[in-house]
Structure 1
C-alpha cells in the first residue's frame, strides 16, 4: 500500500534531478526513554519507525507518560548543497522537538497531524549529521486532556526526507504539501476544477505551471499551461481549469478517481517541482428531510468508528494494516467511517478515497476543554492543520470539532454553577471552531458528537455544527434497549430541522464470556449481538436518522479501562488482533447488497461446555444473511427452511454432546461451520467424578486461561447442584462491578458475587472433594473489612465477617477476606473435605453484616 501513500504525499518523480525527491526516512534510528533535555535514561536501542514506547499500556493503567529520545545519523552528498531539505513527520505523539547537529530546528505540538522541519540551517553536506527528536506524551494543556483511549507516545507514523529545488511548492507551517484542489461545482453533466499552488520562489522570476488531469482509466482529460511573474518569497498561484464534461462521479459504489499533476517550471522550461494528488468529483448536501445526499440522491451513512491501534503493535502500525482495516469496513458493506477521535494516518484517508468510504475526520477535543490560552491556541491550530493536510481527500465529507465535550466537567468541577458556566464557555469555543472550519473549507460539513445528556441542548452546543451526533448507549451502560429510539425520537420532536447522526452505539464483548440468556452489561458475545441487532434496525428504518457509526471497528487499547478485559475497550466488531467476531457478519448481512451473505453465527462459541437439562434440551443456531429464506442441515439432517427476519434465521437443534457439521444454504449459497458440544448434566450421577466450577452471582459462562469452564450461577434442583437463597451483587441496574480485581488474571470470576445468607448444595456421593471458594470484597478498597454492598433493591448493607459451614460443621469462622488481602483483591480459599453424606451443603452466612462469595469449584479427589 506504500504507493498509495506516495501519491497522497505529492511525491515527485525521483529520476529527474531538478525536481523534488522524497524518500522514506524510517530506518537506522535508536531510542531510549529520557529526561526533558533528551538525555537517555538507559542504553539506546536500535528501532525502526513507526515506533511507540507504550506497549506497557496493554498491561497497566499507569503506562509511561513522559520524555523519550530518538536519534539517527545520516549523510547527504555535497552535490545536494544547492537544494533545500526537509523532514516530513506524519505523526509524533504528542510533542516533538527536532535537533540537528545540536541545533534546535523546530517543534510541534499535537500527536495526530503532520509537520515539516527545514534542515538546511544546520545541515552538513558530505559529512555525518546527527539528528535528535525529543518526544513527550504527557499532554499538559494539549488535546486530548482526557479520553477513553491510550495516548501512545513515539514517532509512530512514517518520516520522509524531502529534497527540493530552491523554487518549489511550499512545505508550509501547517504540514501541507503546497497544493489545494477544489471542485466547487459538480453535477452529472459538468464539473469545475481549480488548483491553488503555494509557490516559494527563491528569486523574482517568470514561472510556468503545467496542470494535467487524467481520468480513472489513465487517459489524459486535459492539460493546460499557465505563466506568471513571481516576486521572491511565498505566494499563492490560483488557476482555473477547463470544465470537465460528464465527469465520472466518485461514490461508495463507484469510487472513481481522477489524478491531477501540477508541474512547476522556470522560464527555460526546466522542471523545478511537482505536486500530485487524486481527485474525486462528487457533491453532497443535507436535504430538506435532514438526510445526507451524495450526487443528488439520499444516502444513509452506516459504518464503524475506528481507533488507530492494533495489538500487539500499539499505534505503530503499517500502511498495509491501515488499509486492511478500511477494507474490513468496505467488505462489511459500510459506506462510512468516523475516524475517532483524531486525524489518522494519510494511508487511512488514501484507502477511503480508493475504496469508496465517506469520512468524518475530527480533531482530538475529547471529554473536557481548558480555558488555558495554550490549549485553545493549539486546538485551533490542530483544526487548521487537519484541514490543510487532508482537504484534498475526496472521501472526507465531515470535519468533526468536539466529542462529548462536557462529560468530564461534573467530575472535575464540583459546583453546579461553575459547571454550567464552563460548558457555556465550551459552547462559545465550539462556535469559534465551527466558524473557522467554514472559513478554511466551506465545501465540507461540520459535526459535533455528544453523550446522552440533554444539557448540551441547554448550553446551546448541540445545534452549533451542521450535524448533531449522539453517542447513545441505552441498554448498555444503563436503561433499556428501547431507550435508544425514545431518546432520538424526542430529539427529533424538539428539533425537527436538525440533522441527527448516531455517532456512537455499541456494547462490549469478551470472547471468554457467553450467555444463553444475555443481559445488559454482561460482556457476553451474545449480548453484543442482541444490542447491535436492535440498534441497527432502528437506524436503518428511521428516515430522520442521517446515519450511524458502530463503536468500534476493533477492540482497542484504553489503559484506564477496567471491565472484563482490563486496559481494553472491547466494543469492537473485530477482536484485538482484528479477526472478525460473529457480529461483524450481522452488519455485513444488513449492509451488503451486491452479493449473497450467509454466516452461521457460531465462530465465537464453536466449542461449548455448558449445563444441559437432559436429552430433550435444545440450543439455538442463528444465521446472519441477506437472503429471504434459508435451510439448515445438521450432520446431513434437514432442519427445515426458515423465513429471515432482521437478517437473522433461527433454528433449534438437539443439545447433546458431540461434534456437529452445520450447513446453512439457499441454492448454491451456503456457509459451513463445525460446532462441538460438551454437555454437563444438571442432574449428578451418583458415584461419578465431580468437576464443577460456578461463576457465583453471574448469569454468564466464563472460560478461564486454563480453558476451564465456569458455569453461570444456577438455582439448586433435586439431584443436581446450585444455590439456595441470596441474590446477585449489583451496582445500580447492572450486575457486578467493572472495577479491576488485583492478584488475578480472571477478572470476570471476581467481578460478580452472590450476597446475603445462602447455601450451595450438591447431591454428591460420599468421598473426598476439594472445595475452592473465591472471594473478592467488592465493597472495600482498603485493608480493613467493612463496608457496603448494594442489594437488588438498591439498599446498602454492611459487609460482615463470613462463616462457612459444610454439612453443619463450621470450617471458617469470622473469615474476612479484606483483612487478609485487602479490598478488591482476589483470594482463593481451598478446603479438602471428607464427605460421609449423600449431599454436600455449603452454607455461607454473615456475622454482623452481609456475606458474599464470588465463585466456587468442587472437584472429586
Structure 2
C-alpha cells in the first residue's frame, strides 16, 4: 500500500548561491519549516531591496533497505519560480513552473542510510519562464508543502504531471442521469506481468455506496484504464446553495490485495454560457458575483498554511461571493478543494501574463504550466473554465502572441474538452479583435474611472462590445481602485485613494453589471490587498491596495460591506465612514450598507431617520453635527424578529484633518504633462518609409542604433529606470506605449517622433 509522508520540518536554508551545496552540507544556514519564502518582508515593502535570486534548501532523509524496496518519489508543492533537485549530488529533476506541484523519482539516487536532498530555488528574471512581468511579487522559495511518496510496486501513475493519476469526468446523459468516467494509468514496477482489477466505488455524502464498477487489466510495464458507470438522479453540486459532493474511491488490486487507491471528491453539475441569460448552472441563470484572489498574506508572503486559506475562504463566503478568479497562476490544491466544498465557481488560470517571451517566440513554458494546471486540478468540480492568458498584449501584439493563445486554447480543449476556456484582455484590445474569437468566454480588465476615463464609461464599453460581438459572452474579469483606509474625503475623486471613492467606483460597477444580462458577471480586483514589491502608491510601499480587505486580513474596507449588502443573504447592517472620524463640515451625509429593508438611524440615541427600501446602499443626508463627539447608530429590522445594529463614532472639528489626504508628490503635475516641453505644432501625419526606424519598432531595436536610441531617450529618458520599462523594452514599441495610460503620450507626439526616426536607416539584412 502507498504512503504519503510530510517532510516539512528540519530543512536548512541558505540565501547564498553556492554550487557546492548540491553535494555538500550547508554551513551556517538557517533552520526553517516549510512552507517558506525568502520574500515575506521585502516582497511586501518591508525592506527597500526586493531580493530575486537563487537560494538553497537542504534536508537529510534516512532510508532502510526495506523502504528502498519500494518506488520512492519526492513531491514538491511548488518552487518559485524554478527549482532544481539534487540527491546525493546528482541532479534528479527540475521544474520551471513556479506555481505547480512537481515530483522527482528518488529510487535511482538514494541509498540505505542517510541521503542529502538539496534544492536550488531561483526567482530571478528568466525571459523563458512565466510570468515575466506582472503587478505582483514573484516570491521565491519552497512555499508549499513537501511530501515523500512511498509507493507500492503497482501504483497509479504519479509522474504524468498530474496529481492523482486518475481523472474523473462527469457528463450529463439524460434529464436526470450522469455518466461518471474514471481514467488513468497504472504502473507496474515488479518486473513481471501482473493481472490487476480496477475498482470504482461512488459514495454519497453519508458514505453510502451508490454505484460500483470494475475492470480487469493486464499489467506489463504500464497500462491505461477507463471505467464508466451511469448514476441516476444524483444530488447536484449547485454552487453556494448546495455544494453537494460525492466521493469516488478508485483502487487497483493485484495478488489479492489493494496496491493503491484514491479518494476523490466529485460533484455532478452542468455549466454553459449564453448571451441571453448569462451563465447557466444546472440550467439556471446565475450571475457571477466574483472576487479575484492572490495567494499571499501580510508578513507571510505566499508561504501560507491551510489556516490562512480557510480564513480567506471564510471572508469570501462572508462577503457573499459565488465565484472566485484565482489569479494569475495555479493556486494550492487545498484552496480548490475549499471551493468545491463551499460551492464557489472557479476561474483557474496560468501566468501567461503581460508580456510574451522574446527568446522563445513559441512561449512553450506556457504550455507546460497549462498542462500541469489542468491535470492537477482536473478533478475539482468547482472549476468551470481554464484561463489561457491575462493582458498578454499589454506591451506587444504579434502573430506569435496570437498563435500562442490559439495553441493554449486548443491544448486546454485537448486535455479537458468538458470545460470552457477563458481569457482576460486589457482594455486596449479592440472589441473586434480576432483575439476575442479564440476562447469560449472573453473577460476584460477595465479600470474606467481609475487609470483612464470616467466610471460611467464602463457601461458604454460593455454595450459597444456587445454590439460588435452579440454572440460572445463577456465578463468583467478585473475592476477596482487602490484604497488606503487612512484617507477620506467629502468629495472623493479619481486616485485620491479614499474609502469613499472606492464605494462610488464599485457601486457603479455593480449596477452596470447587473443591468446587462449579456454580462456574465464580474470579479472584483481584489478580495485582499497583496504584495507588489515594486509599487510605491497610495501612501504604502510594496503593496497593491485594491483589496476589499487589507493584506493582513484584519480590516474590511467599506466596499467589502457594499458587496455584502448586494450578495449576502445573512442579515446585517454597517455604517460606512468609521475611519473618517474627524468631520470638519457641519452638514454630513452618512452611508448605510445593509441587506435589510427597514433601517432606523439614531444620532446620540435620538431617532433622526427611518429608511424603508431594498437598496443595499442607503444614504442619510444633511445630518447636522455640533462640535464634539457623536455616535451614529443604524438598526436594521427584517420584519420577522431579526434585528441587527451597528454604530460609528465621529467627531466634529473646526479644521479639516490633513492626515486624511495623501500628500501630492512634488512635481506630479509636471510628470503627467511631461510632453509639454516639446514642440508639437508640426504634427501632420507622414507616410512611413520601409527600411527606416519608426515608433512601431521595439525599443530594443531602437537601442541597437545610437541615433535612434538618442531620439528615444530625448523623449522618454525619464521612464527608463522604471522596472516595467526594463522588463518590456525587448517587446515594447513607442506605438504600444501610447496605448498605456501610464505614459500619458498624446497622439501628436507620435508623429513628431516619427519625423525624427523615419530618416534613420535600418541596417541592411
Structure with greater strand percent: 1
* C-alpha displacement of 1:227: 1.6
Structure with greater helix percent: 2
Structure 1 match to 2:310:
323
Secondary structure at 1:749's aligned position in 2?
Answer: coil
Q: Tell whether the 8 Å contact from 2:572 to 2:645 is kept in structure 1 after alignment.
A: no
Distance in 2 between the 1:377 and 1:794 partners? Answer: 39
- Residue 657 (structure 2) pairs with residue 675 (structure 1): no
How do residues 152-551 of structure 1 correspond to structure 2 at under 5 angstroms?
A: 152-185=139-172, 189-202=176-189, 203-231=192-220, 233-241=221-229, 243-252=230-239, 253-266=241-254, 268-287=255-274, 289=276, 291-373=278-360, 376-409=363-396, 422-455=397-430, 457-458=432-433, 460-551=434-525
Q: 1:44 aligns with which of 21, 29, 34?
A: 29
Structure 2 match to 1:16:
none
Distance in 2 between the 1:374 and 1:272 partners? Answer: 45
Q: Tell whether the 8 Å contact from 1:310 to 1:576 is kept in structure 2 after alignment.
A: yes
* C-alpha displacement of 1:628: 2.7
- Residue 646 (structure 2) pairs with residue 749 (structure 1): no
Change (3 A) 1:198 1:36: farther
Q: 1:598 aligns with which of 573, 595, 619?
A: 573
Change (3 A) 1:189 1:558: same
Q: Tell whether the 8 Å contact from 2:170 to 2:181 is kept in structure 1 after alignment.
A: yes
Distance in 2 between the 1:378 and 1:640 partners? Answer: 60
Structure 2 match to 1:53:
38
Distance in 2 between the 1:83 and 1:216 partners? Answer: 34
* C-alpha displacement of 1:643: 3.6
* C-alpha displacement of 1:426: 0.7
Change (3 A) 1:794 1:622: farther
Instruction: Show structure 2 runs of 5+ residues with no match.
Output: 679-717, 720-765
- Residue 653 (structure 2) pairs with residue 665 (structure 1): no
Secondary structure at 2:517's aligned position in 1?
Answer: coil
Q: Computing the radius of gyration over CA atoms, which structure comes out larger, 1 or 2?
A: 1
| Total equivalences in the alignment | 666
Distance in 2 between the 1:61 and 1:451 partners? Answer: 30
Cα displacement string for residues 827-861 of structure 1 (whole angstroms, at most 9, x for unaligned residues): xxxxxxxxxxxxxxxxxxxxxxxxxxxxxxxxxxx
Cα displacement string for residues 381-428 of structure 1 (whole angstroms, at most 9, x for unaligned residues): 11111110000000000000000011123xxxxxxxxxxxx4332111
Secondary structure at 2:435's aligned position in 1?
Answer: coil
**RMSD value, Cα:** 2.4
Q: Which stretch shows the higher mean deviation, 398-407 or 579-588?
A: 579-588
* C-alpha displacement of 1:450: 0.7
Distance in 1 between the 2:285 and 2:279 partners? Answer: 6
Q: Tell whether the 8 Å contact from 2:431 to 2:465 is kept in structure 1 after alignment.
A: no
Q: Tell whether the 8 Å contact from 1:600 to 1:664 is kept in structure 2 after alignment.
A: no
How do residues 667-706 of structure 1 correspond to structure 2 at under 5 angstroms?
A: 667=639, 668-682=641-655, 702-703=658-659
- Residue 134 (structure 2) pairs with residue 134 (structure 1): no
Structure 1 match to 2:754:
none
Report the TM-score when normalising by structure 1: 0.74
Distance in 1 between the 2:591 and 2:346 partners? Answer: 32
Cα displacement string for residues 104-123 of structure 1 (whole angstroms, at most 9, x for unaligned residues): 11111111111011111111
Q: Tell whether the 8 Å contact from 1:598 to 1:669 is kept in structure 2 after alignment.
A: no
Secondary structure at 2:584's aligned position in 1?
Answer: strand
Change (3 A) 1:586 1:778: closer
- Residue 582 (structure 2) pairs with residue 609 (structure 1): yes
Distance in 2 between the 1:650 and 1:299 partners? Answer: 29
Structure 2 match to 1:745:
none
* C-alpha displacement of 1:167: 1.0
Structure 2 match to 1:647:
616
- Residue 592 (structure 2) pairs with residue 619 (structure 1): no
Q: Tell whether the 8 Å contact from 1:600 to 1:672 is kept in structure 2 after alignment.
A: no
* C-alpha displacement of 1:361: 0.3
* C-alpha displacement of 1:677: 2.9
* C-alpha displacement of 1:34: 2.5
Distance in 1 between the 2:50 and 2:325 partners? Answer: 27
Cα displacement string for residues 547-567 of structure 1 (whole angstroms, at most 9, x for unaligned residues): 100000000001112211222
Q: Tell whether the 8 Å contact from 2:493 to 2:501 is kept in structure 1 after alignment.
A: yes
Distance in 2 between the 1:290 and 1:385 partners? Answer: 33
* C-alpha displacement of 1:58: 2.0
Distance in 2 between the 1:35 and 1:796 partners? Answer: 47
Change (3 A) 1:122 1:198: same
Change (3 A) 1:290 1:638: closer
* C-alpha displacement of 1:185: 2.2
* C-alpha displacement of 1:789: 6.3
* C-alpha displacement of 1:678: 3.2
Distance in 2 between the 1:604 and 1:193 partners? Answer: 53
Distance in 1 between the 2:427 and 2:419 partners? Answer: 26
Q: Tell whether the 8 Å contact from 1:33 to 1:42 is kept in structure 2 after alignment.
A: no
Secondary structure at 2:207's aligned position in 1?
Answer: coil
Secondary structure at 1:543's aligned position in 2?
Answer: coil
Q: Tell whether the 8 Å contact from 1:475 to 1:520 is kept in structure 2 after alignment.
A: yes
* C-alpha displacement of 1:47: 0.4
Instruction: Show structure 1 runs of 5+ residues with no match.
Output: 1-18, 410-421, 683-693, 695-700, 704-709, 713-747, 752-775, 780-787, 798-821, 824-861
Distance in 2 between the 1:183 and 1:160 partners? Answer: 30
* C-alpha displacement of 1:493: 0.6
Change (3 A) 1:84 1:197: same
Secondary structure at 1:277's aligned position in 2?
Answer: strand
Change (3 A) 1:467 1:316: same
Distance in 1 between the 2:382 and 2:125 partners? Answer: 30
Distance in 2 between the 1:446 and 1:364 partners? Answer: 15
Q: Which has the higher contact order (CA 8 A, sep 6+)?
A: 2
How do residues 709-748 of structure 1 correspond to structure 2 at under 5 angstroms?
A: 748=662
Cα displacement string for residues 475-509 of structure 1 (whole angstroms, at most 9, x for unaligned residues): 11121111100111100011111110000011111
Distance in 1 between the 2:442 and 2:671 partners? Answer: 39
- Residue 552 (structure 2) pairs with residue 589 (structure 1): no
Q: Tell whether the 8 Å contact from 1:95 to 1:109 is kept in structure 2 after alignment.
A: yes
Report the TM-score when normalising by structure 2: 0.83
Structure 2 match to 1:719:
none
- Residue 628 (structure 2) pairs with residue 628 (structure 1): no
